[in-house]
Amino acid sequence: MTQPLPLELLDPPSAPTAHDIPRPEYPRPQAVRERWLNLNGEWEFEIDQGDSGLERGLRERPLTGSITVPFAPESELSGVGNTDFLEAVWYRREVTIPAEWAAVGDDHHVLLHFGAVDHDTTVWVDGVEVVRHRGGFTPFSADLHGLARAGDTVTVVVRARDPRDAVQARGKQATWYANSHCNYTRTTGIWQTVWMEPVPAVHARRPRITPDVASSAFDVVVPLSANRRGHTVSVTVTDADGEVARATARADLDLAPALRVVVPEERVRLWGPGEPNLYGVLVEIRDAAGDVVDSVRSYAGLRSVSIDGKALRINGEAVFQRLVLDQGYWPESLMTAPTDAALVRDIELGLAAGFNGARLHQKVFEERYLFHADRLGYLVWGEFGDWGASGQGTRGDYQKPTASFVAQWLEALERDHSHPSIVGWCPLNETFQDLHDRITVLDDVTRAMFLATKLADPTRPVIDASGYSHRVLETDVWDSHLYEQDVERFAELLRGLADGAPWANRREDGAAWSLPYRGQPYFVSEYGGIWWNPEEAADAAGDAIDESWGYGQRVADEEEFHARFAGLTGVLLGDPLMFGYCYTQLTDVFQEQNGIYRFDRSEKLDVSRIRAVQKQVAAVEAAETDEADEADEADEATDTA
């Protein structure tokens, strides 16, 4: 039997460096080139509290402080630790481009990449503006052709503006000074890896890999920077035993040649939860003489997602999705994982507690997280961080989205399309539209983001807006958020699914936020959030009673936690019409004390008991299979008679 692809063939080595730098691993694991330069580490830094730095000459002079990139200045690991509102921040660094990059070719281009910068970014190189970007969650790049070549030393200057009152997607970043409820310390400026790479004039951009399980094939689109007469592009798929299949196409006719690579039947291994079978993918561009001018290494998984009535199927099989809400914050580094191992650890913690996947909540996670989910067989729902668009507004004007939401979300879809671990998309979360109001900008943006998602990726199900306001009739999935803590009341509220009238979030006066349910697959995508802080519970005087926050009435002790978790989860596991659930949440986050684990990822509960409750799903699925088998046997007996 074909063996899984070894990790060392998937994950490229970290950048060579003469000294230790933070987050040294390759930041783009699905489009790997051998030559690259990691720019994390110490940069000059200055806070521009009045956003007057351009007028005051910050672009031209050395900056007064320093910071450790890629950690945000609000974080401890950045070395700055300023948690006040930062209207603008500046970065500056001299970079010497490796002389050996000249081997790429006489007409080589140097690309400068930013994993993510929050929020409104301008970059200058040697005083020349090279790129602007709006959005705090998605990557962008600058082509330094004409400004920088192999062997040159250049000065990179970055200004990141993050105005307090701007309408922008912030995710869980607090729009008021202090952390409270489910809003956390802000992130400003660079918070993911900064790096460079050399490419030839004609080069491949990120390949878009789409699996086709029915045909045992991969469809690979290779966007090109330009076309050159006589060039070809080839895609080679490999496994641990070597080459599996190959396809070649002309690269001088289309800006994005499309190739189909068919996997022989005997080499087919499907990707699924707990079965992370991956193939290596090599993209090569050759010139008219047959010489390789550019090559990009990637990987892929053969995995399908389909809808069958109320069931979501993976590779044609119903898989109950036991998801956990993962917000991706760390006490010392905020939205940036302190190390690559910390990303792996969060997935391992979810698996240890019996979850088979996560809803990545209100944040576009670092791509390295998805790489580890791919190789560990962990299901993922991708989401956009749309919260915070109200500035300091009240709930009545809570959501004020803009067209930039759509642009940023399309960037996220493009980055993450090829990751097999992603089994669904969620562009928006908990939007508050009044069903009887006139059509609003939020209605337009909701529909635009849904349609853009379906156009960019028709292979995965899409929730138009998780939880409250389902405003797109053709949304693939319906969900609700239900934090009722009484188990009997929780069960009562959810009984309507059998009659085609599932629980739907409503306004306080009972009016509907959503258009009518049309029989889509349904799950409770937020529940639980059980408030438990052992230290506060042990404080007999109750002096710390208000220092944490959670949903509903806090439990008195750990036994009550386990009883409540088992009761709520049992209701969901026992409903054959529900395809999954998502428990809030994996870890505590600052004052929000409702995690399975503490904020520092240490245990605060008996995780084996959490896992045992969730493993009931195996018994449920086995019972359903036995019932189906018995029904088939009865039908056969009737036919025989």
pLDDT in tens, 510-543: 888 898 999 999 999 999 999 998 887 777 444 4
Contact 233, 204 (CB under 8 A): yes
CB atoms within 10 A of CB 468: 21
3-state secondary structure of 306: strand
- Element housing 258 (H / E): strand 258-262
Contact 86, 188 (CB under 8 A): yes
**Which positions of the chain have pLDDT values less than 50?**
1-2, 18, 391-397, 540-544, 618, 621, 628, 631, 634, 637-641
Contacts of 516 (CB under 8 A, 6+ apart): 473
Contact 542, 476 (CB under 8 A): no
pTM of the model: 0.93
Domain covering 217-300 in this structure, CATH number = 2.60.40.10
pLDDT value, residue 616: 79
Tell me how long the chain is. Answer: 641
Four-point Cα dihedral 543, 548, 554, 556, nearest 10: -50
Beta bridge partners of 478: 522
Q: Residue 85 and residue 385: Cα distance in Å, rounded?
A: 19
Contact 258, 220 (CB under 8 A): yes
Asked if 217-300 and 305-626 have one fold, the answer is no
Domain covering 39-199 in this structure, CATH number = 2.60.120.260
Tokens encoding 625? 């299979």
Tell me which DSSP letter residue 202 carries.
S
pLDDT value, residue 19: 62
Tokens encoding 98? 């490796």
Q: Residue 30's closest CA among 410, 369, 426?
A: 369
| Ramachandran angles phi, psi of 241, nearest 5° | -95, 0
Tokens encoding 296? 């990009």
pLDDT value, residue 570: 96
Give the CA distances from residue 270 to residues 2, 278, 382, in Å, rounded to whole numbers and listed in that order: 11, 8, 21
DSSP code per residue over 433-488: --TTSPP-HHHHHHHHHHHHHHHH-TTS-B-SSBSS----TT-S-EEEEE----HH
Q: Residue 588's closest CA among 322, 321, 325?
A: 325
First to last CA, the chain: 43
Q: Residue 444's closest CA among 412, 471, 468, 478?
A: 471
Domain ranges across the chain = 39-199, 217-300, 305-626
Q: Residue 406 and residue 401: Cα distance in Å, rounded?
A: 9
| Ramachandran angles phi, psi of 470, nearest 5° | -85, 105
Q: With 0-12 CB in 10 A as exposed, 13-18 as middle and 19+ as buried, what is 400?
A: middle
Beta bridge partners of 237: 245, 281
| Parallel, antiparallel or unpaired: strands 242-250 and 258-262 | unpaired
Domain covering 305-626 in this structure, CATH number = 3.20.20.80
Tokens encoding 137? 């969650």
